[in-house]
Amino acid sequence: MVRETIRDLVALDALVGGARTADRALAAFRAAPRTDRDAVAAAGELGEVTGWLLFDAARHTEARWVNRASLRLSGAAGDRAIALLTAQNTALHEAYLGRPLTALRIARRVLAGRLSPRLSALFRLREARALALAGDSAAVRRFARVRALHSDGARDSDPAWAWWVDEPELAWHEALVRGHCGDWSAAVDGFHGALELVPETQVRRRYLFLASLAAAQVEAGARRDAGRPWTACSLTSPPSAPRARKRWCAG
């Protein structure tokens, strides 16, 4: 039952987002049984989904509480894959809330353990974003390490959710880092490049990249061009698959 609820929530999120699904998710998480290890693992995974939906709905206090609960449950169940996903969600959330040093601590705590190249790239990416938000221009140079790790490829041991750590994601985050470090002209170029890598079928992702590009153009002073990218591609294709829910609102 809990696993079915998770699948339903992920599918709904892809269609309508967290604002319309967070209440249902939170009620299900509170009611989820914790009777044995499998049930605890399922509750931990439901907590990860619920935390994300609450974040997407801008219910930040509840999102932080659920993320902490999810980490405890996944740890108790020995579900490292979901614990890692929740940890990176939490680092993202803390950075979004203007707490880059907390995000940095989370990323570095995970990086102190054993990770595959793909997962190392993800948490190095979170580290770079946090450093950039904290005003450390060295964050841009750290992206060379992120790309080197990513180029090592996936491993059979990588969790299923790690598929979205791909070239468009890296390009978008690198552009964000450059913008956070004050180089908005480079960020504009980076967002253009990232947008070119995204298939037209990934509509929500294209919306996010276009919004990022428009905001970077404004920051770079290119106000005359800021409205232009919205007509640069078709936005009428069907939404991308469930679990392509990945972090549209904040990266």
Interval 144-173: pLDDT, tens: 999 999 999 889 999 999 988 999 999 999
Dist. CA 115–CA 93, nearest whole Å: 21
Q: In this structure, what token pair is assigned to residue 191? A: 């967002």
Displacement of CA 96 from its chain's centroid (Å): 11
Dist. CA 56–CA 6, nearest whole Å: 16
What is the mean pLDDT of the segment spanning 163-185?
94
Q: What is the pTM of this model?
A: 0.85
The count of other CB atoms within 10 Å of the CB of residue 78 is: 11
Confidence of residue 17 (pLDDT cuts 50, 70, 90): confident
pLDDT at 222: 64
pLDDT at 100: 96
Q: Where are the alpha helices (DSSP H) in 33-99?
A: 37-56, 60-77, 80-96
> What residue spans define the domains of the chain?
166-251
**33-59: burial string, b at 16+ Cβ within 10 Å, e else:** eeeeeeebbbbbbbbbbbbbbbbbbeb
pLDDT at 240: 32
pLDDT per residue as tens digits for the range 81-90 = 999 999 999 9
More confident residue, 18 or 106: 106
What is the mean pLDDT of the segment spanning 81-103?
97
pLDDT at 237: 32
pLDDT at 230: 44
